[in-house]
Amino acid sequence: MAFTSSSTVRNLAQLFDTQDLSVVLEGVAVACIGDVTAQTAAEHGLHTVIQPEQFTIPELARAIAEYFGRE
């Protein structure tokens, strides 16, 4: 699951009517575009495993591809 902003995390939590998304996304790799989004994800029970060094969509896509290329 890729999050490109804090609002995407909050909106998903609202959609599932929960503040703890860890149950909803159990076993799912979480990607966040940057530090602020990763912090919001953590506040909703998620552990970010993919985060690019440069906070852009192309770099996020690269980081996701690299992550899954190694697995």
Pair of tokens at residue 70: 């190694």
Q: What is the mean pLDDT of residues 57-63?
A: 97
Tokens 């860890």 — which residue? 22
Residue 71 has pLDDT above 60, yes or no: no
The pTM (predicted TM-score) of the whole model is 0.91
- Cα–Cα distance measured from residue 39 to residue 35, given in angstroms and rounded to the nearest whole number: 6
**pLDDT-based confidence at 70, cuts 50/70/90?**
low
Q: What is the mean pLDDT of residues 42-66?
A: 97
Q: What is the mean pLDDT of residues 39-64?
A: 98
Q: What percent of the chain has pLDDT over 70?
A: 97
**Element (DSSP H or E) covering residue 6:** helix 6-15
**Element (DSSP H or E) covering residue 35:** helix 35-43
